[in-house]
Amino acid sequence: MRRDARTKLGRVCSPIASTCLSGYIINVSKPFLVQMNYRGLFFNYGGWGRDSMAGADQNVLWVAPVNPGGRLFENLCIYKTYNDLLLYNPVVDKNLASVNYGQGGGMIMFNKTMYYNCYDSRNICKYNPQTNVMEVHVALPNASYNNQFSYSSSPYQDIDMASDEEGLWVIYSTPSYAGNIVISKLDPISLKVTQTWVTGQNKTAASNAFMACGVLYATRSLSTQKEEIFYMYYTKTKKEGSLKISMEKIKENVASLSYNPNDHKLYMYDAGFLVSYNVVFKPTQ
């Protein structure tokens, strides 16, 4: 099973042009299991994927396990190729003690840079792993943090970084909106908020969320084997809608979920396992 999954993932890893003219997501593939994260079975929380800036080098992959308990993000590995990932042979292996620890599984790589929730704060960290420099850390205005409004299956993911064809986003909530999901577009250089939307979906009722083509998608658990994309919010029209897109899971606990606009995949960190899905968009009319 693992050999087949690796082969399929390898065949579709090259960048694909995306214009966001294909509508919204209507289906996802069966899960492709890659392997266990490099720190082992007890590291159930974390994130992984490729550089999700549109047009970025898709040979590079990253894995970021969060320590047991789901809070402390202290180690990051980056791999030059998919084969290096399979062999647990990183080109970059960093401990974040010298810069700033993170918390929760909401980290993402965008333009060779890691963005994540700085530990014990509402700050967003922008960290360059090649130079080992914390380039920016900025408070996300009014954002809840420290597990006040995290997802139902992933603690301390109050501040969840995301990216898609349109750039860099952050998914979070604030006390004034009583836990409803807030979406903000970020300037990737300064981390300043450029625009914000407030949804009608409570964040703690979702198991995770991601952005694709400027649309927020939220998931929930149906069973130990099934996840469902059940909610969507269009930032362009400020309208929301319901979906029923079933997703098979390898394990019960979805710790993080992110979309990559280059290969049109979802990357899931599922109870310590690295898993991906192909995404199917509605055809253009």
Please check whether residue 216 is in contact with residue 163, taking contact to mean a CB–CB distance below 8 angstroms: no
CATH architecture group of domain 2-281: 5 Propeller (2.115)
pLDDT of 283: 76
The gap from C-alpha 217 to its chain's centroid, in whole angstroms, comes to 12
In this model, does residue 219 exceed pLDDT 80? yes
Q: Domain limits of the chain?
A: 2-281
Phi-psi region of 210 (alpha: psi -120 to 50; beta: other; left: phi over 0): beta
pLDDT of 195: 98
pLDDT of 17: 37
| Token pair belonging to 42 | 């007890």
Q: Which residues contact 15 (CB under 8 A, 6 or more apart)?
A: 55, 56, 58, 262, 263
SS3 222: coil
User: Average pLDDT in the 29-37 region?
Assistant: 97
pLDDT of 5: 37
pLDDT of 253: 87
pLDDT of 149: 97
Amino acid identity, residue 281?
F
Dihedral sign from CA coordinates of 37, 39, 41, 43: negative
pLDDT of 203: 98
Please check whether residue 184 is in contact with residue 193, taking contact to mean a CB–CB distance below 8 angstroms: yes
pLDDT of 22: 60
User: Average pLDDT in the 212-221 region?
Assistant: 97
Q: Which residues contact 182 (CB under 8 A, 6 or more apart)?
A: 143, 171, 172, 173, 174, 196, 197, 198, 199
pLDDT band at 2 (very low <50, low <70, confident <90, very high): very low
Closest CA to 264 of 29, 80, 77, 4: 29
pLDDT band at 258 (very low <50, low <70, confident <90, very high): very high
Q: What is the pLDDT of residues 3-16, one digit of tens each?
A: 333 333 433 333 33
User: Average pLDDT in the 19-29 region?
Assistant: 80
pLDDT of 21: 63
Question: How far is residue 237's CA from residue 247's CA, in Å, rounded to a whole number?
Answer: 27
Mean of the per-residue pLDDT values for the chain? 92
pTM to 2 decimal places: 0.92
